[in-house]
Structure 1
């Protein structure tokens, strides 16, 4: 009875730790080519903010956002009443200056005849010649003023400087604007650019790609085919808010829609001897990137710190910490512990096929024995 009581009071033996199934892959060294991907936007090579050359009140806006326009088309109009009055005043001044000039020419002709007959002095004749020059200068001034005022009147119509598409509207009818105030934005027809931003540490690397055809791979969202692009321009100064450099890539006459979002892929530096593994194989332990390495003889795992290089969409380049031929765990990394026993994951369909094959072989052997 004492033995039975002692056995009942003893602690039960802990349950054996389950052998977890993990996915693995054998790594190999090679030349790793990383891809850096950025989000970009399609813009026109030339985009103008158009405004009136004179100030006034807008009475009509004749275009809408997204509307295609032709060169010379009227986009908006100002109240031109004051401008027309100014033009009439300039024309009247021109008529007066022309009459004064004609009178001065006639007077000088008569005074020259009087001088030849000795009725007036040479000084009086010189004074009349000077008056004619002043009248001529006044005529030229009035003529120029009339031309300027005529131009001012024509500036009441805001015209498209080139064919393109209206991409922005900054003023409405009834608004009083000053000279040069933007009213509409016009994206000119022609070549298209893809504009994107890169971090400060990538600016020098991207700047080295300027002028190299096909250095970029540009994939519009919603499409499966990528288009080649060429870096055309990299801003000289960093943006003070985002701390990034703006890059413009030439797309030529590619069939892209203004404002369309694209994914820009740029090939990173080639790393010789680097090892590429799935991103799911990485695990962070105490601020250190690590992977689980499988010991195939004991079927246990150990934690191996690694140095991470370029990170792609679903893979990562390991620059140090792994050797070619090692087997790393690629799935189930967050539930493992050092020295834990594991088994390789086998796809269910493959296991069933293997069992069926073994069963058929066993049945065949029995038939032969009979």
Structure 2
């Protein structure tokens, strides 16, 4: 009887264990579809339009400064004045340079007198030597004195030229046509050589200057055409080319300076005017998907594509033409209308069943 009880217990335990295994296998077989976010692929019909606000500035700005230092006694221009090439701008007190010039001229006169005396002595010694009255040494000595006198004259002439240049530099003249946009010194101030006295915006060109964010630096091509319009009057427009992109970001704003050379800007686009620039980036061909949809397959870009018939996903390689902050432009690998997973891409596997947010469980 005891043996029967043991046998029955063992049989019951085996049946329960078998039933438990079958239940686990059924649980492993039944897979709950993973909920994912998706997006339907759309075709990019035109390039991305970027709009930036900036100001009109001179293509070239020149700081006019004295090449000598001194006390400024006169300044004939102010901010906003128009200048012509050669026009008088400012003057320093010329007394010191004038005295230096007079001293140099006196030194030149003395050197000229010594040269004349040395030349006469050389001519006399040469004549006596030819008549064999004096020795060769006397003629050589006179020749050496003549050369020294000539060198002294050359040195004195250089001093005069330098002093005259410094004297002329006490008067500041405009080197080109333009408009005064800033002043750096007032009458009565002691200015140093090279210190900006006035800043001139030359009339030989106008730029539209923009501060572009860092995410545009890799996609804004140089010499790209851009449309520029006055912010307050959109019908006043001009064409321009991106001619200069700063390689370094501004330390305060983190933006990059972009200069657009304007082609025949209208008169309404004055210096300092606020303008809006618009340009189109990217080619017309390609499809656009969110950047969160991107993953990789064997080190190459790829995305998870949902099969609507079976609600399963497959990993598909793609070719990327442009990376944007929130979007990616695909050149090849996707067709408009296909469904791509945009969230949870790292937890998927090929053939896995997924459930869309609006699908019933």
Match of 1:249 in 2: 260
Which of 25, 29, 34 does residue 48 from structure 2 map onto?
34
Query: How far, CA to CA, are the matches of 1:56 and 1:81 in structure 2?
Result: 10
1:130 aligns with 2:144: yes
Which of 107, 110, 113 does residue 127 from structure 2 map onto?
113
Which of 250, 265, 272 does residue 259 from structure 1 map onto?
272
Query: How far, CA to CA, are the matches of 1:117 and 1:224 in structure 2?
Result: 96
Match of 1:232 in 2: 243
Contact 2:239/2:263 (8 A) holds in 1: no
Q: CA deviation at 1:266?
A: 2.1
Contact 1:193/1:252 (8 A) holds in 2: no
Match of 2:5 in 1: none
Q: Is the alpha carbon distance of 1:116 and 1:243 closer, same or farther for their aligned partners in structure 2, counting shifts above 3 Å?
A: same
Q: CA deviation at 1:235?
A: 2.0
Unaligned runs of 5+ in 1: 1-27, 276-308, 325-337, 340-370
Q: Is the alpha carbon distance of 1:227 and 1:124 closer, same or farther for their aligned partners in structure 2, counting shifts above 3 Å?
A: same
1:223 aligns with 2:233: yes
Match of 2:100 in 1: 86
State the SS of the aligned residue for 2:249.
coil
Contact 1:90/1:146 (8 A) holds in 2: yes
Q: CA deviation at 1:224?
A: 2.0
Q: CA deviation at 1:153?
A: 0.8
Contact 1:55/1:177 (8 A) holds in 2: yes
Residues 294-342 of structure 1: CA deviation (Å, up to 9, x unaligned): xxxxxxxxxxxxxxx989xxxx9899xxx97xxxxxxxxxxxxx99xxx
State the SS of the aligned residue for 2:121.
helix
Query: How far, CA to CA, are the matches of 1:249 and 1:141 in structure 2?
Result: 51
Q: Between Structure 1 and Structure 2, how many residues are aligned?
A: 258
Query: How far, CA to CA, are the matches of 2:164 and 2:212 in structure 1?
Result: 49
Which of 85, 96, 106 does residue 110 from structure 2 map onto?
96
Query: How far, CA to CA, are the matches of 1:194 and 1:219 in structure 2?
Result: 10
State the SS of the aligned residue for 2:208.
strand
Query: How far, CA to CA, are the matches of 1:133 and 1:76 in structure 2?
Result: 43
Contact 1:32/1:274 (8 A) holds in 2: no
Unaligned runs of 5+ in 2: 1-41, 290-322, 330-335, 338-356
Q: Is the alpha carbon distance of 1:196 and 1:318 closer, same or farther for their aligned partners in structure 2, counting shifts above 3 Å?
A: same
Scaled by the length of structure 1, what TM-score is found? Answer: 0.64
